[in-house]
Structure 1
Amino acid sequence: MSDVASTNTSYLDSLRWQDKKVATSDKKSDALTQSDFFALLTQQLSFQDPSKPADNDQMIAQMTSFTMAEGISNLNSKFEALSASMTSNSALQASALVGKKALLESNTLEMSETGVGKGSIVVEKPVDQLYLNVYDSAGQLVRRIDYGAKTEGAVRFEWDGLNDNKERVPPGQYTLKAEGNMNGQYTSLPTATFKNIDSVNINGSSGIIVNTSLGAVRLTDIAEIAG
């Protein structure tokens, strides 16, 4: 008998309505939508004093304020999408810099067997005589180039890789030292040389970062890029 009763009870339970669990989301948006605004406006109108209806100008001002707030919110979203698109385009354009050369402040120069060393000398004040001295890895002077009198500004130079005896120097790294003669006094001047661009990357706070043999530098700090 107990088995029969148990079977009947299970059968009757299957015929009853079962409580259904409805999935709910824990995430609630605090943003006031257009429908929320009109619902609030409708409530305001339904509870107003008929003898003192709401001022039309006040209602228009409320609607205008909400429309402006909604427009600014949409504009912010569009600006974020535009910013992401510009960042992507910047990364694509920056990738074209790989393999080129960046002019950076440096006193070293890499010379190949047949290459020409190029760069700039920064003349901070007019000089009576400008010299560029080139030293090898042992510190020996291999070439001294005279550029004569120069005014203030950047002076471009090209070294053909020959020493003072018109002989080709071995490939490798050479050190540069620029000197300006002003009233008989020699002053060291800064130089800039071209360095290979190995890679680029995008940094949110610093923008485009260019990686060279001198390390990572911002693209905005590069004076010139050459092929």
Structure 2
Amino acid sequence: MSIDTTSYYESLLASYTDTTTTTESATSLTSDDFITLLCTELEYQDPTEPVDNTQMVDQMTQYSQLEQLTEMNEKMDTLTDALDAQGISSGLDYLGKEVEADGYTINKDGDDVSSLYLTLDDDAAELVVNIYDTSGSIVDTQTFTGLEAGTVSFAWDGTDYNGDEADDGNYYVLATATDEDGDEVSCSTSTTGTVTGVSNSDDGVVLTLDDGRTVYLADVTYATQ
């Protein structure tokens, strides 16, 4: 006695299709799907050539691995949720505190413009500070000469190249420095502000400052007690 293999696979496919279409948009093979396929295979197998023990063990091993992966994914989701909650909880400790964090954003609100701090690793013969708006266009450029290594405060007057007052909003600062030989000098930027809000993102916990700017909790280098 023999069974038409074409009919066999058509039946197998039909059974699997009936199972998956009754679920909510199944896009991956679940453990239930695996059992359904295995039972269907046993039901439609050729009695004269049944599935041998080795093949059955291999399939059951695959099922066991699928179960373990599913359980692992569930545990990872739980761990991620716990870490997110822990991060938010840590961020809440900064509410109302003034923080200093790595960053390059300043905010203009009328005559009030955020201060930015520039740290030079070595003495700089020239320091060029470019100010960009949120569209990436340069609004103003300021140049300083003869600066010693260390941290200095940078304050923008809120005007553009033409001396006209710039629009209110956030701006970005990019500073580059060179020494007397024209070699680049490392220059980092940091900002300060009072934390008024805490949120979570794919990149980590975000602290919102009193002027609307945001910094990452991981970038905070100092906070008032």
**Larger Cα Rg: Structure 1 or Structure 2?**
1
Task: Give the TM-score normalised by structure 1.
Answer: 0.47
